[in-house]
Structure 1
Amino acid sequence: MANFQPFNGTITMISDFMTGLNEESIGCNKLMSVDNGYGAIVNFVVTPDTYFIDQVMVAIGDKVTGFYDADAPAPLIFPPQFRAIVMTKNIPYQNVKVDYFNSQLESSDGKLRLNIAPSTSIVLKNGQAFTANPTNRNLIVVYGPTTMSIPAQTTPYKIIVMC
């Protein structure tokens, strides 16, 4: 089970990122600097495996949230550099949570419980339908309003199963 952590901010730089000596990898990986506006900066390494919600294109000045595995090894440099697992462009009235959801579809931090409706789209990262039970898995959840309860409850618009 990964320890997914979000970082919100504005993209201040996008550049190519070399991961090896292979010329075929040039342009395939990006380094995105994200500034939260309060003095914290994170550099995200964006690879072809990074999942972008709705395959949206991002640019300098966009407000985004990047999710990374806080337990994964990272170089001890400043600003911190993490491999982005999921990126989303911040859109009003749309929330995204990346986490492990248990058998009651409650997130590992106990802050969100999912109520799946017939209209909830449940798919794989490649866009194909997911036909099994989404419980006890790492999920990318796209949702709107929540209840004021603890944990907050929501009926998600879309669930992407991270197999």
Structure 2
Amino acid sequence: MVVFASFHGTVTAISDFATGQNGASEGCYRLLSVQNERGETVHFVVAPATYFVDQDMVSPGDQVTGYYDQNAPVPLIYPPQYRALIVVKDNPYRNVKVDYFNQQLTSSDGLLKLNPAANTKVLLTNGQAFSKSPANRNLIVIYGPATKSIPAQTAPYKIIVWC
């Protein structure tokens, strides 16, 4: 099971990343360098399967959050290098939560509870409709306003099921 961890900061550089596959994947992998406000840097390996919320294009200077599997093996190098599973570009008109949501659609950290409305889109990462319950799954939730309660409650715009 994926246990999501994240790193938020400003994109400082984007470069090609060689995978050593005899040039067959040349240009398909990128290295996204992100620095937070404390000056800490993380390199995200962006693969063709990395999910970009709303397919946003990312450029140096953009504020992003990169999500990775904290249980995945990583090389012991500095700065740390993680395989990006999901990248979210900051947008003042939406909030995004990536987490495991239980049977009650409450996030694993207990900070957000989902109350899907009839017009909430529930999709797979490929954009196709998801017909089952999103409960007890890893989800990418895109939402707007939320209550100030704990957990905050929201009727999300879109729920993307991370299978």
TM-score, scaled to structure 2: 0.96
C-alpha displacement of 1:52: 0.4
Paired residues of 1:93 and 1:145 also in contact (CA < 8 A) = no
Give ranges in structure 2 of 5+ residues lacking alignment. Answer: none
Residue equivalent to 2:140? 140
Task: Describe the SS at the equivalent of 1:45.
Answer: strand
Give ranges in structure 1 of 5+ residues lacking alignment. Answer: none
CA RMSD of aligned residues (A): 0.9
Q: Which amino acid aligns with 2:125?
A: K
Residue equivalent to 2:123? 123
- Once residues 27 and 152 of structure 1 are traced to their aligned partners in structure 2, the CA distance between those partners, rounded to angstroms, is 41
Q: What per-residue deviation string (whole Å, max 9, x for no partner) do you get for residues 10-34 of structure 1?
A: 1001001011232111100000000
Q: What per-residue deviation string (whole Å, max 9, x for no partner) do you get for residues 128-163 of structure 1?
A: 111111111111111112111111111111110111
Q: Which amino acid aligns with 2:116?
A: I
Residue equivalent to 1:51? 51
Residue equivalent to 2:42? 42
Map 1:1-163 → 2, pairs under 5 A = 1-163=1-163
Q: Which amino acid aligns with 2:51?
A: Y
- Once residues 21 and 124 of structure 2 are traced to their aligned partners in structure 1, the CA distance between those partners, rounded to angstroms, is 32
- Once residues 137 and 14 of structure 1 are traced to their aligned partners in structure 2, the CA distance between those partners, rounded to angstroms, is 31
**Larger mean Cα displacement after TM superposition, 124-133 or 19-28:** 19-28
- Divergent runs of 4+, >6 A: none
TM-score, scaled to structure 1: 0.96
